[in-house]
Amino acid sequence: MNFDEWEPVYERILADFGFDRAGDERARDVCRSLLDAAFDVESLRDDVAGSSVAVVGAAPSLEREVDRAADADHVFAASTAADVCLDHGVDVDLMVTDLDKNPETAVDLTREGTPVAAHAHGDNIPLLRTWLPRFASEATLPTTQAAPAPPVTNFGGFTDGDRAAFLADHLGADALVFVGWDFEDSSVEPTKAKKLRWAARLLTWLESRRDDRFAVLDGHRESL
């Protein structure tokens, strides 16, 4: 994802939520300052390109369908979905998180050598300062939704789940399998529900870019 392509969408997200772009940029720069090394995501390309990737979300349905993730070649798990996968014996190949729910899991994974895409945005600077120093830097992939500033990268996406999908696409995955997703989860608060709708919009854009059709979007496309 070229930032020139992403930026107009990013500006719409900022406007819709009233977010501060300068806050995202501050978080990005704090993230850079806290890492003495970073994971080389391109090292995954040979394994991921041409393969299937389970993009695992943390909807309540995940407990019932987690075995579907194990059928994919690779598992990219969003936030607490990583815990569910691990608890069911499903290996996680990459975790995507903005550190707001289970940062301890992210720390443990990096120390075991599993890469974690740690996302910096304007609302999580205190979490970055608290947790990133505990990560193994060589397994930490820092990301931003603002302009990239190496080693902090931007592959596109807004929520943990759709960022995982955009990252798998960047690495050349042949098939994206969506497990544990629910765009109409009635248990979430209004802001989260709005974020889920944006996730659906972004995945619609991604499937169009890939000339693909994601089953997880069936029944949602026309309303988007």
Distance separating alpha carbons of residues 125 and 144, to the nearest angstrom: 12
Res 169: pLDDT: 98
pLDDT of residue 195: 96
Instruction: Say how many C-beta atoms besides its own lie within 10 A of residue 31's C-beta.
Output: 26
Maximum separation of any 2 CA atoms in the chain, in Å: 46
- pTM of the full structure: 0.97
Structure tokens at 179: 């497990």
**CA–CA distance, 92 with 89 (Å, rounded to integer):** 9
Residue 222 is predicted with a pLDDT of 82
Structure confidence by residue, pLDDT tens digits, 83-132: 999 999 999 999 999 999 999 999 999 999 999 999 999 999 999 999 99
Q: Whose structure tokens read 């369908």? A: 65
Contact 69, 179 (CB under 8 A): yes
Q: Where are the alpha helices (DSSP H) in the chain?
A: 3-17, 21-34, 45-48, 62-70, 81-87, 103-111, 125-131, 160-170, 190-210
153-194 pLDDT per residue, tens: 999 999 999 999 999 999 999 999 999 999 988 889 999 999
* CA 90/CA 74 separation, integer angstroms: 10
pLDDT of residue 186: 86
**CA distances from residue 12 to 17, 68, 85, 90, 199 in whole angstroms, order as listed:** 9, 34, 33, 36, 13
Q: How many CB atoms lie within 10 A of CB 67?
A: 11
- DSSP one-letter code for 92: P
